[in-house]
Structure 1
């Protein structure tokens, strides 16, 4: 039986009834002057990658929960007031993308399409199986997917281990032609990319990559990489950060082919979702800079990450790397873990958090 005092804190506006939870301590989040952070949606279990529909629907994947959500802000107050569960019991459907009216959802080993989904909601369209030839290994098997400027669907296939030698398509990023069902290996030697985007001017693919574990607190760094030529090798498992030889695996020939990272991001920070900011709300200094969600360390003696970082660029050259949003980590205790970033139509930024089960909105008002 629910006590009367608890009943007051139950959420009922479009989200159904849920157990009461403590308010998220957003006052701990530190942002540059002029920026504010608010809750866009709560009780989004294990929120991972986001995708934006043509009509403003925010679609959210999950990993542990196995769900896909559709969030609707029906009164345009920048808070979702309707949550529709699109799918349940999928195989780590962390990654999703919206393209030409349809929602694409990545299981570990399959890609599904929900056609004309925004026109159908709240009715869920019958999913169509688009591709079913991905490996079914759960270790680093969850995906981050997006469509490139070429109209192809880009899909990472993580290494099925902490560090090991494995056959392609493991440890790679590939692209799928939806018409022919043919795949092309875009990048090799990629341990586990859970975030990428395309440079708004060059169209080149930039991606984050998580470094291996069990080499100590400070080695190797996570990486920000740029694909300048299809099929480039980025070192894993033989070379880390372009210069650190792996203690367990060697291949001098591949080591010579290793493509250096554009930027090293810090060891164990768990760099995940990233995006070139192309909105019109943030100051001009943010235009075409990269915002990276760092999920945070899990096996370091002192925790790092748990923040949003900004990478400043001049053309294809990194000229700055600094914190944008911090405060999810308080000493050695964390109350949230950022996963993905996505710009809304008004230029504000959404951030998903799979630990606090929330979506935040960061906005800017000129001081």
Structure 2
């Protein structure tokens, strides 16, 4: 590809959570998420973080840590919100998947907490910093991924729930609308159901909803 160049090469290996999410913030910086390398373990270096950098790759900053696996973030005004997948193998109903509000430099709890539930193997371990708790809890195992704030929905967010793989009764496999009151999320309800395994959501210029589905290998368009 003509003109391609690497802007940063010293980025971490996140093992089983290696999918990156990337976006340009309202400050014109590049934001990238890095998953933790396992189900429940202590991340190393920049594993389990969200970072920002200049568009030329310089001035790398850690803006969030203690993140298990964030595969979606977006801004409401100048405030970033990001999803985070909860740990597996602790039962059908804990820990929750999370929606978090970014406080630059903040610690979000992993591997000591999932939501505000102490995680297996770290029940008695002292966290290295005070946890910033989620601003909203999704049902455990829905696999909340992409999030996008929609002008056509009055600033509410749509979140892609990729769907569970290890729950006795499957959950997720849908797109939910997260309603906001002021700058706080207050509820989540099904907006689009039966859409394969949704990964991300975006708003088209005409207000249509675009949903990527990695089970069907397709991008679906939903017009209002």
Fold equivalence (TM over 0.5):
yes
Which TM-score tier does this pair reach, normalised by the shorter chain?
over 0.9
Select which of 13, 22, 34 maps to 1:145.
22
Change (3 A) 1:189 1:137: closer
Deviation for aligned residue 1:182: 2.2
Select which of 203, 211, 221 maps to 1:361.
221
1:162 paired to 2:39: yes
Q: Secondary structure at the match of 2:110?
A: coil
Mapped to 2, the partners of 1:156 and 1:140 lie a distance apart of 10
**Which protein has greater RCO, CA pairs closer than 8 Å, 6+ apart?**
1
TM, length-normalised to structure 1 = 0.59
Q: Secondary structure at the match of 1:185?
A: strand
Q: Secondary structure at the match of 1:173?
A: strand
Mapped to 2, the partners of 1:179 and 1:359 lie a distance apart of 30
8 Å CA contact 2:8, 2:57 repeated in 1:
no
Q: Secondary structure at the match of 2:171?
A: coil
Deviation for aligned residue 1:147: 0.4
Matches within 5 A, 1:102-251: 124-179=1-56, 181-200=58-77, 203-227=78-102, 229-242=103-116, 244-249=117-122, 250-251=124-125
TM, length-normalised to structure 2 = 0.95
8 Å CA contact 2:136, 2:186 repeated in 1:
no
Select which of 155, 173, 189 maps to 1:322.
189
Matches within 5 A, 1:83-98: none
Q: Secondary structure at the match of 2:19?
A: coil
Provide the aligned C-alpha RMSD in A: 1.4
Mapped to 2, the partners of 1:326 and 1:205 lie a distance apart of 26
Q: Secondary structure at the match of 2:158?
A: strand
Unaligned runs of 5+ in 2: none
Deviation for aligned residue 1:137: 3.9
1:303 paired to 2:170: yes
8 Å CA contact 2:164, 2:170 repeated in 1:
yes
Unaligned runs of 5+ in 1: 1-123, 280-285, 329-335
Mapped to 2, the partners of 1:170 and 1:247 lie a distance apart of 19
Mapped to 1, the partners of 2:119 and 2:145 lie a distance apart of 23
Q: Size of the alignment, in residue pairs?
A: 223
Aligned residue for 1:291?
158
